[in-house]
Amino acid sequence: MNLSANDFLIISTTFIILFTVLMMVMIYGVFIKKKSQLLLQQQKKDALFEQELAVSQIEIKEQTLNYIGQELHDDLGQKLSVARLMTSKITLTGCKENVQIAKEINMLVGECIQDIRNLSKVFITGQIEHFGLVDSIEREIRRIKRLDLLEVDYQINNANFEIDSDHALILFRIVQESITNVIKHSKSNVLRIAIENESDLIRIIVEDKGKGMITKEIVRGTGMNNMENRAKLIRADLKINSLENIGTKVTLIYNK
């Protein structure tokens, strides 16, 4: 069968169009598949973040309860005991000192009321949300100093910054884990904490002058793995440098 030039042109054009359409369909299919894979990966990351966030919130609540118990026992308990002794003294004596004693009682009771309000904020709504990252770290430092666990060298160049409260919670948990490691394992009598607020990032350093760690301990330690995983969730950079008998330095960099 002889084909004319027009017939051949029509057939060739049709074939090219069909081939082009087929290629477009294949490319579109590959694109949809890639997009679905990326969405699935993002969903997994989001799920991991939510899971880690939930775990961190539970840990914060547990530590908040411990903090409340310590404050009630060590601080409020002592103040109320003094107030009770003063009240007993008023009932036993009728001297002119009653007015001054009453003023002291009012002052102590006022302090107790303010402390209770502060503790209630921690208990009801969460430490990070109410106090922020910097204040929460500083509260940890005050607790360490009050319990005389070790000497703390604290430095911060600028506390005026705001970050997402969920990310702040993760950062605080990493810092808290680092501090716990220093207290429990380093055998250091000095703890250095530095917060460096720069235009595009926040750098947090937790450093000790203790026994240090060998490489295997850094890689295999569960606590270290938890810190690494938490840092990845918020795209933070975590570096742990340690030398045996020299100390350990944890550097956490969060991009704003």
In this prediction, residue 36 carries a pLDDT of 83
> What band does 124 get if pLDDT is binned at 50, 70 and 90?
very low
What's the token pair of residue 218? 């850094």
Q: Span 117-136, mean pLDDT? A: 65
Please state, as a whole number, how many other Cβ atoms lie within 10 Å of the Cβ of residue 3.
Answer: 10
Please state, as a whole number, how many other Cβ atoms lie within 10 Å of the Cβ of residue 228.
Answer: 16
As assigned by CATH, the class of the 133-256 domain is: alpha beta
Distance of CA 248 to the CA centre of its chain: 20
Model pLDDT for residues 24-45, shown as the tens digit of each residue = 888 888 888 888 888 888 887 8
Domain ranges of the chain: 133-256
Alpha-carbon gap, residue 45 to 195, rounded angstroms: 28
Residue among 172, 185, 167 nearest 222 (CA) = 185
Please state, as a whole number, how many other Cβ atoms lie within 10 Å of the Cβ of residue 72.
Answer: 14
> What band does 88 get if pLDDT is binned at 50, 70 and 90?
low
Residue 204 reports pLDDT greater than 60: yes
pTM (two decimals)? 0.56
Residue among 113, 59, 104 nearest 85 (CA) = 104
The residues pairing with 194 across neighbouring beta strands, listed in sequence order, are 155, 205
CB contact set of 183 (below 8 Å; sequence gap of 6+)? 144, 149, 150, 191
In this prediction, residue 194 carries a pLDDT of 97
Helix residue ranges per DSSP H, the chain: 5-71, 77-92, 98-125, 127-146, 165-181, 215-220, 222-233
Measured in residues, the chain has a length of 256
